[in-house]
Amino acid sequence: MNNCAKYFLLLSLYLLFASMSMPGFAQANLEVNTPAITSIKQRMQSRHAELVEYYNSGAIGLTQDGMITVRDANAVSLAKRQQVNSLVSAENQDRNALYREIARANNHPEWESKIRSTFGQRWINLARNGWWYQSGGRWVQK
């Protein structure tokens, strides 16, 4: 199993347990699956392999609201900065869609922001050592 697949497996297990103990919306099923969620996850999984290089170099980092952002463009060659922007933008579109779809699949669209923040914390917890994430408005290296 490659690292990318492991990362997503870990996330899935983590979220399975997370769904049992989430205060405020204890019945939220974060592992819910619909055709839309499946296709979003597949896109994210295939993109993750491309993103790892930029997580490792510190060019991109994780935000508290469950998104990613360009942290230090200087860590990427000029020619690749546009590509990094595209990857970040596509990833964030998928992440937004994922949170919205999970909320919809739970029949509670209003849970989207809670699901987003829950995912945000989980992505940070799962981040590898050396990756950057935002905490209290500042960048922190794990």
Partner 1 sequence: MFCLLTLPASTAFSGFALLLDGIRHPVFQAQSIQVRLGDGHPGAGQLEIVIAEIKVRDYVWKDVQLSCAVFQYKSTVIECEDGYVKIPELVSFPVSLHFYSDTQTIKIKSNLTKNESWTLTLQWKGQSWQGDVTIRNVSLDSIAEWLPDLEQMPKLRSGRVNGTVLFSGSETDLKSAVMDLSIEALSFSDQAGLRAGENIQIAIKAGLDRSKHSNQLYWHSEIFWQQGEVFWQPIYMAAANHHLSMRGVFDGEAMHLLDGSLMFAELGTFQFSGVFDISSKRLRVFELKANKIQLSTLYEQVLQPFLRDTTFAEIEFTGHADWTVRLRDDAVQSIQLDLDDVSIVDARNRFAFYRINARIPWLHEGATIVDLRVQNGHVLKVPLGTVRVPLELNQFNVFLPQLALPVLDGLLKLENFSAGYTEKGWRWKFNGGLSPVSMEALTDALQVQRMHGTLSGYIPEVRYDGTNVSVNGVLQLKVFDGSVVIHNLKLIEPMGLAPHLKADAAMRNLDLELLTGTFSFGKMEGRVDIDVRNLELANWMPVHFDAHLFSSSGNYSRRISQAAIENISALGGEGAVAAIQRSILRFFEEFRYAEIGWRCKLRLNICYMGGIESEPLSRYTLVKGGGVPAITVMGYNRVVGWQELITRLLRITSENEPIIQ
The contact set with partner 1 (CB under 8 A) reads: 32-37, 39-40, 70, 72-76, 78-79, 81-82, 85-86, 89-90, 93-94, 97, 100-101, 104-105
Q: Rank residues 18 and 101 by Cβ distance to partner 1 and give the closer one.
A: 101
The closest of 48, 42, 122 to 88, measured between CA atoms, is: 48
Shortest spacing between CB 26 and partner 1, in angstroms? 17
Local structure of residue 28 (DSSP, 8 states): -
Shortest spacing between CB 36 and partner 1, in angstroms? 4
Task: Give CA–CA dist 122/84, Å, rounded.
Answer: 23
Shortest spacing between CB 84 and partner 1, in angstroms? 10
Task: Give CA–CA dist 9/1, Å, rounded.
Answer: 10
* Residues paired with residue 60 on neighbouring β-strands, in sequence order: 70
Q: Rank residues 7 and 99 by Cβ distance to partner 1 and give the closer one.
A: 99
